[in-house]
Structure 1
Amino acid sequence: MQEPLYMDNVAEETWAGKLTFPSGISENSVLEYRLTAEDQAAAGNTKVLPSQGFYQVNVFQPKNPVASYFTDFSNSADDFVLADFDISRIAGFSGNCLHTRHPYPASSFEDQYYNLEALLRYPVILQEGGQMSYDEIVLVEPGTVWEDKLFWDYVIVEGSKDGGETWLPVTPGYDSRVYEPWASVFISSTVNTKSQVVGKQSMFQHNTIDLTENIGFSAGDTVIFRFRLASDQTVTGWGWAIDNLSIQNNISTDIDIVAQNGINVYPNPFENRFYIDYNMENAFSRIEITVTDIFGKTVYRQTGIDAFHTSKIQIELPNVAKGMYLLTVTEENRPVYSRKLVKK
């Protein structure tokens, strides 16, 4: 247990302090803390936040940067650092999704937000024209417009180029008004300070964000992304759900070094198998075929293929997860073909 840290009043309503950990902090540790305020009255009035338990901070090490990322959340719990989010399948949904707490909590302070966050541990190297897309349900208190005083609760995607020290909006914050049926059902089901509507699979809508149109980011930047729901002190509701997160999978990585039409891969997307037609002229060398996931892990490799006598190659991948993969064909240690594949 850490000794109590007494904070200094550095501005009219701002107190600050610095915690040090002489023995260091290991990855995957969880720091717990709470705040105690005591006034100068003779009675010594105090308030503790949270009133029960502790706030938690997850300690993590970012993973290696990637050029693209995709998940349907069926097997990606280790890819995220979660605070008041979880990855789960709940009633009304066909599979795992990224969920905030349902319902999301209200802030304990006037004019201050309670933040629920999910951070992707894979930094992404931005490319020109890169996009992020996902399916979502936003049942969050509707207000006016982003940064207006009457803009209440909101959700937002943010990025950081400095390892999480500072964050920039990838897109302006938004609420249920982004899709009129969400706002309508949120308002019509609100009783006192809580909307009663519950999200379900049929309510998903698709959202696409251009990553390099934001003035804070440009091609070549390595960016950590987080998803944040900010809740004020009044009305709450069901919250936010996200599925089928795709980052920069719209960028083509096709390479055609030796031939324009000598290799054909089909079907794409595929289920358990796909085929390669290899009809290149002067194909007297043996070739190698590799399939890697978006993190660079090899999930399939076949070497020593006699391309002269083998024009059609069948690749079986029944045991790999759904998602995005990269196929590479190599001849004499040089890549002759590369293509993105999707297992559905």
Structure 2
Amino acid sequence: MSPSRQTRKVTLRDVAERAGVSISTASLVFSGRGPVAAATAGRVHAAAAELAYAGPDPLASSLRQGRAGTVAVIVEDRLLHAFRDPFALAVLDGLAQELDDMGTSMLLVADHGDSQPNPLAAHAIDAAIFPLCGRTVSPLVDHLLARRIPMVGAGAPVHDEVVHVVIDERGASATVTQHLVDLGHSALAHVLMPIGRHRATHRMDEAELEHAAYPDARDRGLGFLEVAGPGSPLVEAEFPDVAQGEVAGRILLDAPARRRPTGIVAQSDLLAAGVIRAAEGLGLRVPQDVSVTGFDGVDLPWLDRRLTTVEQPGEAKGRLLGSLTRRALAGEAPDDAPFEVRLRIGDTTAPPA
């Protein structure tokens, strides 16, 4: 390498000249977005290695295209909770596949919903996606609106400028509750995901549902009450996981038989698995002594049961979120997209003894 070459930054032109190809061909090799013969691509990569060329400058590329090439994926609270939830992982996986197909990277952001420094302020992004259960209001929406960044969500935050993948949460919850009623159950109880108070798992009053910070938990609760009837026991979980589902299950089931529900509708499969653990720990049989239902339809290979649940395919939901994002970035104004769910009958429900 000549002294003059060593004193300046190596460019794509240098690589193309060394490989004996045009700049456009070398560019296609690095982007992976065009048909280039394997032998030609090999020469380009070999030339890049000889010149210690790391690839095109992504900042320069984004400036030329007027795009950052990055989409913010905003998850409520700590990312830890999302990565422990198989449904959340399935949604993120489907979304990541769609963004990969677009050649767009994913910036994971935790939204704590408080007055902390804005986690998006220092990042260049093309769009923002709220892919999981979230609060009705997010302080990030006003910031994103001011930057004219398109937003896509899965039911929250609720704002006219956020395009959503929409599930009939209330109707789905009513359907799975009706399944228990049709089996003959009349003593029903409900285990809710957090509604926004972040306190220990506890019995709650149904009036609190109207003020829930999370619209999905609220609507699933209202769907349950629509069928089970007012006054049916409600327990709010501190976190939507197995451990808190077990706590909730003990609150409802550790009681004399005459005061114990014969059917429990849980707002997620993880909560339902926790309720089953609680029942078995108390010496109760599922479904002979108590029927349990979930919501999501995730694979729980460690649970020796096939849950009766509401199936909403997480990967497909993530892909639909990505598709809406693609359309928004193309300059379209997509409408909310309905997402179908269905009742799946498993072996955790049966007529009451």
TM-score (normalizing by structure 1): 0.30
Name the structure where strand makes up a greater proportion of residues: 1
Name the structure where helix makes up a greater proportion of residues: 2
